[in-house]
């Protein structure tokens, strides 16, 4: 036979609880205990309020640029719930819900965006600091998974990135390493429709971003990223594959950011109001509340109480972040270097660049220039 197919593939879309309230009981029954669904819904309310307050902190000049997570809570939360405690969670900057669920103190995120490096001190937590450079975290996740496999551990790495990040070389390098070396990595692409102002239709001509993993030999799946149940299922399946077979998976979580890219952006300049209105109806928080109410697991009274508790909690988080003691100057050295050379010790003690023999502020620039001539 002179012509024959050498490769065929099907990428499935997974949905369990859609925006109309339809629930696939065959896939969803028993997937998450009711008590956990209630706990995760309350957690999403806290995260939503955190987002609102963080936005106000930036607008009032009390914090730097902030990327809203609003509308994408289910994607990272569902994945975080499906992971085991010793797994690595390697994120960019729109995964607050998942990070908080796994134990990250909320003050850390505020400190990070306030420019306080202590927000990136994650001692004892199986997660990495927020990755602002687009795509770099995928390489870190692949390295962590490689180390886990090398040491014979059963932990895996789960990394999160946007649709735009799949155009970065870092993604392709990480994907090729993970698949070729059979590493336990779960790649979660949060396709929120926009890479800042570039629509996903321009970012890729392919019908799905999920198929970008096919070129490297990965298992690939597309999921409704605003469906908490579906996110738990596909992540749990991918984690099992990674843990038992050392095989990576590419998950495309189709979601949407309801806010601007960051507080330095104005999405009204490039996206239509009709599109935003459509996705507002697919809000993962609203969707999950409707499911809970349909099963008599939630009420207006519980909603009011949960929101009041969320306000109290986030008020305390803000207080803790804003009233933290100023860092000692020596912490720069202590946190940067494992061991200090004699020269660095001298710099830490004197807070001077002793290598040039004097305090830099005392150097006569004109005399220096004359000496050079």
Does residue 363 surpass a pLDDT of 60?
Answer: no
Phi-psi group of 85: left, alpha or beta (phi > 0 → left; psi -120 to 50 → alpha; rest → beta): alpha
pLDDT of residue 299: 98
Does residue 370 surpass a pLDDT of 70?
Answer: no
Among 137-146, 343-352, 363-372, which is the least confidently predicted range?
363-372
Higher pLDDT, 333 or 214: 214
pLDDT of residue 187: 98
pLDDT digits (tens, 9 = 90+) for 121-146: 998 999 999 999 999 999 999 999 99
Return the percentage of the chain with pLDDT > 90, whole number: 87
Closest C-alpha to 343, from 335, 353, 334: 353
Catalytic residue among 257, 282, 287, 289: 257
Q: Do 217 and 175 form a contact (C-beta atoms < 8 A)?
A: no
pLDDT of residue 343: 87
233-242: average pLDDT? 98
**Residue 13 known to be catalytic:** no
135-164: average pLDDT? 97
Catalytic residue among 261, 282, 287, 289: 261
91-112: average pLDDT? 98
Is the full-model pTM beyond 0.75? yes
Average pLDDT, the chain: 93
pLDDT of residue 192: 97
**Residue 257 known to be catalytic:** yes
267-294: average pLDDT? 97
Give residue 113's Cα distance to chain centre: 14
**Domain map (residue ranges) of the chain:** 13-322, 331-372
Alpha carbons 16 and 13: distance in angstroms, whole number: 10
Give me 60's structure tokens.
Answer: 């009032």
Does residue 22 surpass a pLDDT of 50?
Answer: yes
pLDDT grade for 1, boundaries at 50, 70 and 90: low
Does residue 150 surpass a pLDDT of 60?
Answer: yes
Cβ atoms < 10 Å from Cβ of 281: 10
**Residue 270 known to be catalytic:** yes
Q: Find the farthest-apart pair of alpha carbons in the chain and give their distance in angstroms, rounded.
A: 84
Catalytic residue among 13, 270, 295, 305: 270
Helix, strand, coil share of the chain (percent; to 5): 50, 10, 40
* β-bridge pairing 194-195 and 198-199: antiparallel
pLDDT of residue 332: 82
Closest C-alpha to 131, from 180, 101, 174: 174
Does residue 5 surpass a pLDDT of 80?
Answer: yes
pLDDT grade for 16, boundaries at 50, 70 and 90: very high
Phi, psi for residue 269 in degrees, rounded to 5: -75, -20
Does residue 367 surpass a pLDDT of 70?
Answer: no
Cβ atoms < 10 Å from Cβ of 371: 8
323-328: average pLDDT? 91
Phi, psi for residue 55 in degrees, rounded to 5: -60, -45
pLDDT grade for 77, boundaries at 50, 70 and 90: very high
3-25: average pLDDT? 95
Closest C-alpha to 28, from 234, 230, 296: 230
pLDDT digits (tens, 9 = 90+) for 33-51: 999 999 999 999 999 999 9
User: Is 3.40.50.970 the CATH number for 13-322?
Assistant: yes
181-185: average pLDDT? 98
pLDDT grade for 352, boundaries at 50, 70 and 90: confident
pLDDT of residue 373: 46
Higher pLDDT, 291 or 1: 291
Let me know if 341 is exposed, middle or buried by CB neighbors in 10 A (0-12, 13-18, 19+).
Answer: exposed
63-67: average pLDDT? 96
């Amino acid at each position: 036979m002179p012509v024959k197919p050498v490769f065929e593939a099907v990428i499935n879309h997974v949905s369990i609880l859609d925006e109309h309230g339809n629930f696939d009981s065959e896939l969803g029954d028993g997937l998450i205990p009711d008590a956990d669904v209630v706990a995760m819904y309350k957690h999403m309310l806290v995260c939503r309020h955190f987002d609102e307050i963080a936005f106000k902190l930036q607008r009032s000049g009390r914090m730097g640029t902030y990327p809203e997570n609003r509308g994408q809570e289910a994607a990272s939360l569902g994945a975080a719930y499906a992971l085991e405690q010793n797994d690595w969670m390697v994120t960019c900057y729109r995964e607050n819900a998942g990070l908080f669920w796994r134990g990250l103190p909320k003050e850390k995120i505020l400190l990070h965006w306030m420019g306080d490096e202590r927000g990136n001190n994650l001692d004892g937590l199986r997660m990495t600091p927020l990755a602002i450079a687009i795509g770099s975290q995928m390489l870190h996740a692949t390295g962590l998974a490689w180390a886990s496999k090398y040491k014979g551990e059963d932990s895996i790495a789960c990394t999160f990135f946007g649709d735009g990040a799949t155009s970065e070389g870092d993604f392709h390098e990480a994907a090729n390493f993970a698949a070729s070396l059979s590493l336990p990595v779960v790649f979660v692409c949060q396709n929120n429709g926009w890479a800042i102002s570039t629509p996903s239709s321009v970012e890729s001509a392919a019908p799905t971003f999920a198929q970008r993993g096919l070129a490297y030999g990965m298992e690939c799946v597309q999921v409704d990223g605003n469906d908490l149940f579906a996110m738990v299922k596909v992540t749990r399946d991918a984690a099992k594959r990674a843990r038992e077979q050392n095989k990576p998976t590419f998950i495309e979580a189709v979601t949407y950011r309801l806010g601007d890219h960051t507080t330095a952006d104005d999405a009204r300049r490039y996206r239509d109001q009709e599109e935003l209105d459509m996705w507002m109806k697919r809000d993962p928080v609203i969707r999950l509340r409707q499911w809970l109410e349909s099963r008599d697991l939630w009420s207006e009274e519980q909603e009011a109480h949960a929101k009041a508790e969320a306000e109290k909690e986030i008020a305390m988080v803000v207080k803790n972040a804003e009233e933290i003691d100023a860092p000692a100057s020596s912490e720069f050295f202590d946190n940067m270097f494992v061991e200090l050379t004699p020269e660095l010790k001298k710099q830490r003690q004197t807070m001077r660049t002793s290598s040039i023999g004097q305090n830099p502020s005392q150097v006569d620039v004109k005399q220096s220039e004359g000496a050079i001539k």
